[in-house]
Copies of this chain bind each other. A is one copy, B any other.
Amino acid sequence: MNHRGILLVVSGFAGSGKGTLMKELMRRYDNYAFSVSATTRKPRPGEVHGREYFFMDKDHFERMIENDELLEHACYVGNYYGTPKFYVEEQLAAGKDVILEIETQGALMIKDQYPDSLLLFVMPPSVTELHRRLVERGTETPEVIASRMERGRQEVEEIEKYDFLVVNDNIDECVERLHGTIVSAHYATKRNMETIETIKKEFQEFFE
């Protein structure tokens, strides 16, 4: 069967708990690698190059854009942030399933570039529960919460373009559900064309 990793694109409403789920997935299983972003912002104390971010200057980053070396990129508050292809490619080749946590628009762009990527959408059990979680966090103003709910309303229109939909009603079960779905994705025929070619060749040789 195939030994190359799968590019996992994970999205979900703010408050769906996808950050916690990803951390737990990484903690429990060793087949995952978290995509490390590149940025032009300065490292903060404790941040390590290649762990939190690949830190680089503006010239370097812009050269990467020109050379099509980023899966996607954006500019926030005067700094660039982006996903370098080299890291993703390196991890996939090493057989790691690479997790990219990204919003819906970027996710669909990545699906175009990597048709073999697996798009996973994490949902809260209900909209009421989503709102409750955002309020309970206690870290955001009512305005921010309202804008996140509005954002969710827009994102919901894109869910059917994802491959799988996982409801986060219980962290533990949801992690196992995600992991099971990712493991199974490795058995999809489209990811095993080499195995099929090998067996075709073996039949050929058998009859020679």
Contacts and interface: CB of A to CB of B under 8 A. Distances in A.
Interface string A97-132: 000000000000000000000000101001110010
Nearest to A129: B202
Contacts of A121: 189
B206 A127 contact: yes
Name A's interface SS. Answer: helix
Contact of A196 (B156, B177, B184): B156
Contacts of A196: 156, 159-160, 165
A181 B191 CA distance: 14
A207 interface: yes
Q: How many copies of this chain?
A: 2
Interface residues of A, number: 44
B202 A187 contact: no
A166 B196 CA distance: 11
B202 A188 contact: no
B156 A200 contact: yes
A203 B153 contact: yes
A130 to B, nearest CB: 9
A171 interface: no
A95 interface: no
6 contacts: A123-B199, A126-B202, A149-B203, A153-B204, A164-B188, A184-B184
Interface of A: 1, 121, 123, 126-128, 131, 149-150, 152-153, 156-157, 159-167, 177, 180-181, 183-185, 187-190, 192-193, 195-196, 199-200, 202-207
